[in-house]
Amino acid sequence: WAELGVWVGLGSSLVPPACGKPQQLNRVVGGEDSTDSEWPWIVSIQKNGTHHCAGSLLTSRWVITAAHCFKDNLNKPSLFSVLLGAWQLGNPGSRSQKVGVAWVQPHPVYSWKEGARADIALVRLERSIQFSERVLPICLPDASIHLPPNTHCWISGWGSIQDGVPLPHPQTLQKLKVPIIDSEVCSHLYWRGAGQGPITEDMLCAGYLEGERDACLGDSGGPLMCQVDGAWLLAGIISWGEGCAERNRPGVYISLSAHRSWVEKIVQGVQLRGRAQGGGALRAPSQGSGAAARS
């Protein structure tokens, strides 16, 4: 616990931990399984006790995910719970935390159609969670962040490993490195004829044009994460795609840069990070809640 500083278990009035910085010491990268505590902001949103979607922790009371995860159930928050700090869903361990959902705030322009723009929702937890090395917030990108094509980012989730093939027990969190795809290229790939371009200005595409590697069913709502100056930023939210890992059908994500101001209006204390300017000073969390010192 020493490396986590004084805030662990001492209530939320103290400075929260720095966003986007895993605290683990053992980083084994290279396989498809992630390592324990590698992505401590990823949560499993469960419906009736079963994994339904993924999400990302922004603060001790807020999770961000895809709005379509709550289609037809927006007024039934009691159906849902959020599991934090789990690496294997089949074996979440004593240090994981399960919290109920107080309410869900979908983006006001989301139209509840598949592939619609603004497929993003904020989930208010019933109580504040305790941060630990397994449970930490991710950063939002500030206005300095632009992700050019071929930027390498990561996605992670507990979704199906192929169309119709669920992740086998013990359901270990999977991860995949994906390059950002130029939005014009993506628009052409998904073009449906005159006036039918489904890639809207708030969408990002990422993945492989040859297929074979992609997000899939059950990964919805999870993060597209890019590391900038040593901190992990939430660049996008897994939203839709045609099939899974099909040729010329990359994954489509809702861009957080496009919706940052909406998130900031609702979530007090969300931390923004960007490119270090000059002396490396970074933006404090919004709403004046005080930034955690950079380690």
pLDDT band per the 50, 70, 90 thresholds, residue 164: confident
Higher pLDDT, 258 or 195: 258
Q: How far is it, in rounded angstroms, from Cα 34 to Cα 80?
A: 25
Q: How confident is the model at residue 217 (pLDDT cuts 50, 70, 90)?
A: confident
CA-closest candidate to residue 76, choices 100, 107, 109: 100
Domains in the chain, CATH or no CATH each = 32-269 (2.40.10.10)
pTM for the model: 0.86
Catalytic residues: 68, 119, 220
Span 78-137, pLDDT tens digits: 999 999 999 999 999 999 999 999 999 999 999 999 899 999 999 999 999 999 999 999
Query: What number of helices (H) and strands (E) belong to the chain?
Result: 2, 14
pLDDT band, very low/low/confident/very high, at 23 (cuts 50, 70, 90): confident
Which spans in 153-231 are helix H?
A: 183-189
Cα 95 from chain centre: 21
